[in-house]
């Protein structure tokens, strides 16, 4: 549909807010937390995020509630239009990430409790409102997604420490972290037509699987954490720390993006040779035997790179 933007402030605010529930945000914020803030906080967010997203995506394809009709609604996004509506996984992810970050940090860092609570609420609310503004969800979809995330957080919180301990110490962690997500991806609910939900779910579970194996490996062979005194440029202390943070982030993101591009090309090339299809054939890439290994291997490599390779590179560069 054609539309006219009458208020550019709301338009860009909610378009930006919608991006906070997509891959570009996950692939930057979650690694940033791991590289610059706290490993334990990052581990908890990634585990909660993967569980919440899997349940949300599967719920969509089981309930099969349609998205808002267009017209009368004007839809500003088209890729996710093939998915069902209830619950909003944008709302679920935003609620899960913001409040798990708040809960995981409130007892470890000194900041006003009210400030953290308001920040988490504003972040999740902006993402939820963006789904209404872009015409992708109903109010019920958004409220349902936020409530499901809240319930899952309450159920997971009491076992956070136990899950974290098992992920770091159990000898079965690498095997379980790979096998269980793969089984879930290959047994994803079947639909009468293609929907990107299975591919998106495989992306999330693959990234979490690679990161989890990285967590376990780092605990077996610990790498010294970064320290601020290893990166001095003669600036004031705050400026020096900021430069170190930005350097770690940009180096890490560059390596992660290169890993993603390289693995996409390699895995698609191998699968294309195995199943006799050209890489540019979109329909072939949507087949179960291609989509699941392609996305799982690619993004598990991304998760492993972000948690193991990038920290080693940071250490090598003295960041």
* Beta carbons within 8 Å of 211's beta carbon, 6+ residues apart: 46, 303, 304, 306, 307
**Residue 232: what pLDDT?**
39
Q: Is residue 280 part of a domain?
A: yes
Q: Is residue 66 part of a domain?
A: yes
pLDDT band, residue 229 (cuts 50/70/90): very low
How many of the other CB atoms lie within 10 Å of CB of 242?
Answer: 12
Catalytic residue among 39, 137, 165, 226: 137
68, 134, 139 from 143: Cα distances, Å = 15, 16, 6
Query: What would the pLDDT profile of 156-180 be if each residue is shown by its tens digit?
Result: 888 888 888 888 888 998 999 999 9
Q: Is residue 63 part of a domain?
A: yes
* Beta carbons within 8 Å of 226's beta carbon, 6+ residues apart: 35, 244, 248, 311, 314, 315, 319
CA distance linking residue 144 with residue 59, whole number of Å: 11
Q: Is residue 68 part of a domain?
A: yes
Number of alpha helices (DSSP H) and beta strands (DSSP E) in the chain: 13, 0
Domain count, the chain: 1
pLDDT band, residue 238 (cuts 50/70/90): low
Closest CA to 166 of 157, 177, 155, 156: 177
Domain that holds residue 167: 8-222+233-317
Q: Is residue 121 part of a domain?
A: yes
Query: What would the pLDDT profile of 53-75 be if each residue is shown by its tens digit?
Result: 999 999 888 888 888 877 777 77
Q: Is residue 46 part of a domain?
A: yes
Mean pLDDT of 312-316: 88
Which of residues 290 and 259 earns the better pLDDT score?
A: 259
Q: Cis peptide leading into 72, omega within 30 of 0?
A: yes
Query: Which range among 36-40, 112-116, 308-312 has the greatest average pLDDT?
Result: 308-312
On whether the CB atoms of residues 89 and 51 are closer than 8 A, the answer is no
On whether the CB atoms of residues 209 and 178 are closer than 8 A, the answer is yes
Closest CA to 27 of 310, 315, 288, 266: 310
CA–chain centroid gap for 318, Å, is 28
Q: CA triplet 307, 310, 315: central angle to 5 degrees?
A: 115
Q: Cis peptide leading into 71, omega within 30 of 0?
A: yes
CA distance linking residue 246 with residue 91, whole number of Å: 29
User: 156: which 2 tokens?
Assistant: 């997971």
CA distance linking residue 249 with residue 243, whole number of Å: 10
pTM: 0.84
Write the DSSP assignment of 114-144 as a string of letters.
HHHHHHHHHHHHHHHHHHHHTTS--HHHHHH
Q: Is residue 40 part of a domain?
A: yes
CA distance linking residue 212 with residue 304, whole number of Å: 8
Q: Is residue 228 part of a domain?
A: no
Catalytic residue among 90, 165, 226, 314: 90
String of b and e for 88-110 (b: at least 16 CB within 10 Å)? Answer: bbbbbbbbbbbbbbbbbbeeeee
CA distance linking residue 49 with residue 57, whole number of Å: 12
Helix, strand or coil for residue 4? coil
User: 84: which 2 tokens?
Assistant: 């069902």
90 classed as catalytic: yes
Residue 234 has pLDDT above 70, yes or no: no
């Amino acid at each position: 549909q054609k539309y006219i933007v009458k208020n550019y402030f709301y338009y860009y605010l909610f378009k930006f807010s919608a991006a906070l529930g997509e891959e570009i945000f996950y692939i930057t914020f979650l690694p940033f937390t791991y590289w610059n803030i706290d490993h334990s906080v990052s581990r908890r967010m990634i585990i909660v995020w993967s569980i919440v997203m899997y349940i949300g995506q599967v719920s969509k394809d089981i309930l099969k509630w349609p998205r808002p009709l267009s017209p009368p609604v004007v839809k500003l996004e088209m890729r996710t239009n093939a998915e069902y509506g209830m619950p909003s996984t944008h709302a679920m992810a935003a609620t899960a990430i913001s409040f798990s970050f708040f809960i995981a940090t409130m007892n470890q860092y000194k900041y006003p409790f009210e400030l953290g609570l308001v920040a988490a609420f504003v972040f999740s609310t902006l993402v939820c409102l963006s789904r209404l503004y872009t015409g992708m969800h109903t109010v019920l979809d958004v409220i349902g997604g936020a409530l499901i995330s809240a319930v899952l957080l309450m159920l997971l919180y009491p076992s956070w420490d136990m899950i974290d301990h098992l992920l770091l110490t159990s000898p079965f962690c690498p095997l379980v972290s790979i096998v269980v997500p793969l089984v879930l991806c290959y047994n994803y609910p079947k639909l009468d037509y293609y929907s990107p939900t299975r591919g998106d779910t495989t992306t999330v579970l693959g990234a979490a699987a690679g990161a989890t194996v990285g967590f376990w490996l780092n605990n077996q062979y610990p790498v010294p954490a970064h320290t601020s005194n290893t990166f001095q440029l003669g600036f004031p202390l705050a400026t020096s720390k900021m430069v170190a943070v930005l350097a770690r982030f940009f180096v890490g993101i560059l390596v992660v993006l290169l890993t993603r591009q390289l693995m996409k090309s390699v895995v698609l090339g191998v699968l294309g040779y195995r199943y006799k299809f050209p890489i540019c054939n979109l329909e072939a890439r949507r087949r179960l035997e291609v989509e699941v290994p392609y996305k799982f291997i690619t993004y598990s490599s991304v998760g492993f790179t972000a948690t193991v390779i990038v920290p080693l590179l940071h250490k090598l560069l003295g960041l």
